[in-house]
Structure 1
Amino acid sequence: MNRLFLGWMILVLLLWCGPALAQDTVCVQCHGGLDGRLGAPVGQWEKSIHAANGISCHDCHGGDPSDFAMAMSPERGFIGVPGYEEVPAFCGRCHLGVREDYEKSAHGEALANGGPNCVICHGNHEVVKASIDLINEQDCTRCHDYERAAEVKGVIAETEAKLQSLDLSVASLHRVGIDVERLSGELFSTRNQFRRLFHTVNVEKLQQQRSAFDSDLAEIGAQVGEIENQLSQRKLIGGIIVVLLVLAGCVALLIRQTYHSEEEAGE
């Protein structure tokens, strides 16, 4: 009896925990149980934008995420930790446009002399979501004064605010069942192209190209506004119909009551 109960308990635990465990690569399972510098990356990665988007250890470092024995095998494409100057090329395998702009920037040109690479601003395993908040006095002044960075932030702030506002509007439309796939795609593309420019750290270039992005965002905003107006009209029409139905019901009830009253008076 005890064995039967134990067997059922094990089966329940496997069914309950199995899906969660299946999501972990062998990298996470192994390093997650380690202390110090070998275990720290797992906790950092779990808080990252990479983890939120399903990008795991092997997507950057290579190797076989399903086989403990081959997880760090060069035969399975394991790369390991890149050197300091190799980081832009390492990250640039996915972030192609950003890498291109970075390499032409003051940051990229200073890389060989200790200039900042990607992880200096974005973190390594705890990669933070790209936003205007990454440009801040506390972080930027670790390497240089804040004046130039403040100029860059000032140029992009208004456009970034428009992006965030449109993000909220499109998300709101999605929540009420509107098909926003095309709008989301346009906004995603515009956002990525605009944020790619951040890496040039070139105030003049940002000023020159910002108007084109503002124009694109205005067009997307007009489409969002049109959909919102249509929704408002539908709500208004729906409200009027409800009011008319209620009034019709009230009139019908009054007629019925009057009819019954007349019948009772006739009797």
Structure 2
Amino acid sequence: MKSRTATLIHLLLFWLILAGLPSFAAAAEETVCLQCHGGQPGPLGAPVPLWRESVHQANGVSCQHCHGGDPTDFAMAMSPERGFIGVPAADDIPAFCGRCHVGVLDDYLASAHGQALGAGGPQCVTCHGNHRITRATLDLINPQDCSRCHEYGRADELRQAVSGTDALIIGLERDLAELHRLGLDTERLSGTVFSLRNEFHRLFHSVDVEKVRFKTGVFAQDLGKIEEEIAAIRSDLGQRKLWGGVIMALLVLAGLCSLLIHKSYKEEAGGD
């Protein structure tokens, strides 16, 4: 009895440890930046909940990736010796974000927005925000935000120019996710769509409607090829399901025939 009780206690402890592992893993991901700022009131603590809702957080981009410093050491977290940058001046924000978004920075600097940098023109956080960075979608081009600086008409032309191709990209991403759930290897196609999506969204930052209209056709051709590949995969899946159904039907029919033959044989044997 004691042995059985001890075994139950060991099992209980084992499951408690397993249940606790996810929380330990989550705590290990918390940097000293988040631990310190997360507990502070007002402006010093405000960035943390905003960042937790961002696309940066979803992709593993944390405080130190933008602001530098040492995320493992409270004493040196904000030390310039460990690469701490801090908060950039408004005119330095494009270069600050452009360390990762290199292509976007180039198109932005060549655009009407970039040419107005330092003279009241918009920069990254004007449209994208700072800590609650959301996934880039056409929703960022809207009357409320764009008309803060200028008439919405030109921005609406840009939105209309890219809307069809953007919808195609979203549809392909959805189709590939569905095929992946079915167990198919979609890594190559998903990587191609991801790359094209990033290049296409980079084009937005030129804010040049004519350029966007011209290059949209090129993207549509490349995306159309992927659409054809997905259609071929779906057709192949349909054929497999059809032949699978035929084979199953034949197997069932063969089983029924076997049962009838066996029954008939037994009846004949019994009659003799």
Q: Report the alpha carbon displacement of residue 15 of structure 1 after superposing the two structures with TM.
A: 5.0
Instruction: Give the TM-score of the pair, scaled to structure 2.
Output: 0.91
Distance 1:189 1:123 in 2: 24
Equivalent residue in structure 1 for 2:188, among 173, 178, 182:
182
Q: Deviations over 1:169-220 (max 9, x none)?
A: 1111111111111111111111111110000111000111111000000111
Distance 2:91 2:173 in 1: 35
Distance 1:132 1:15 in 2: 40
Query: Which residue matches 2:258?
Result: 252
Distance 2:21 2:190 in 1: 36
Instruction: Trace 1:48-59 onto structure 2 (pairs within 5 A).
Output: 48-59=54-65
Instruction: Give the TM-score of the pair, scaled to structure 1.
Output: 0.93
Query: Which residue matches 1:5?
Result: none
Query: Which residue matches 1:128?
Result: 134
Structure 1's 15 and 186: CA in aligned 2 closer, same or farther, altered over 3 A? closer
Structure 1's 254 and 65: CA in aligned 2 closer, same or farther, altered over 3 A? same
Q: Which moved more, 1:103-112 or 1:157-166?
A: 103-112
Distance 1:127 1:206 in 2: 24
Distance 2:75 2:186 in 1: 45
Query: Which residue matches 1:3?
Result: none
Distance 1:18 1:73 in 2: 28
Query: Which residue matches 2:4?
Result: none
Query: Which residue matches 1:159?
Result: 165
* Secondary structure, counterpart of 2:46 in structure 1: helix
Return the letter of the residue paired with 2:103: G
Corresponding residue pairs, total: 257
Query: Which residue matches 1:62?
Result: 68
Return the letter of the residue paired with 1:45: W
Q: Report the alpha carbon displacement of residue 14 of structure 1 after superposing the two structures with TM.
A: 7.3
Equivalent residue in structure 1 for 2:213, among 197, 207, 213:
207
Q: Structure 2, unaligned stretches of length 5 or more?
A: 1-12
Q: Report the alpha carbon displacement of residue 265 of structure 1 after superposing the two structures with TM.
A: 2.9
Query: Which residue matches 2:177?
Result: 171
1:34 pairs with 2:31: no
Return the letter of the residue paired with 1:52: A
1:17 pairs with 2:18: no
Q: Report the alpha carbon displacement of residue 16 of structure 1 after superposing the two structures with TM.
A: 5.8
Query: Which residue matches 1:138?
Result: 144
Equivalent residue in structure 2 for 1:236, among 232, 237, 242:
242
Following TM superposition, the consecutive aligned residue runs of length 4 or more in structure 1 with deviations greater than 3 angstroms are 11-17
Q: Report the alpha carbon displacement of residue 159 of structure 1 after superposing the two structures with TM.
A: 0.4
Structure 1's 215 and 33: CA in aligned 2 closer, same or farther, altered over 3 A? same
Q: Report the alpha carbon displacement of residue 36 of structure 1 after superposing the two structures with TM.
A: 0.9
**Identity of aligned pairs, percent?**
55
* Secondary structure, counterpart of 2:154 in structure 1: helix
1:72 pairs with 2:78: yes
Return the letter of the residue paired with 1:126: R
Q: Give RMSD over aligned pairs.
A: 1.5
Distance 1:151 1:223 in 2: 31
